[in-house]
Amino acid sequence: MRKKPARPIPSTRLNDQNTNRAANNGTGAARLVNNAALQLLEADARFRAAVREGIAQADRGDFIKEDEMDARFEQILNS
In this predicted model, what pLDDT tens digit does every residue of 7-18 receive, in sequence order? Answer: 656 677 767 777
- Is pLDDT of 41 > 90? yes
Q: Are 22 and 29 in contact (CB under 8 A)?
A: yes
Provide the domain limits for residue 48.
Answer: 35-79
14 falls within a domain: no
Question: Do the domain assignments include residue 8?
Answer: no
pLDDT of 50: 97
For residue 39, what pLDDT is reported?
95
Q: Is 20 within the bounds of a domain?
A: no
Establish if 45 belongs to a structural domain. yes
- Rounded-to-integer distance, Cα 20 and Cα 14, Å: 10
Is 60 among the domain residues?
A: yes
Q: Which residue has the higher pLDDT, 24 or 63?
A: 63
Q: What share of the chain in percent tops pLDDT 90?
A: 51
- The tally of domains found in the chain comes to 1
Question: Domain for residue 52, yes or no?
Answer: yes
Question: CA 17 from chain center: how many Å?
Answer: 18
pLDDT at 72 over 80: yes
List the one residue out of 12, 11, 33 whose CA is nearest residue 21: 33
The pLDDT of residue 11 is 74
Residue 62 lies in a domain: yes
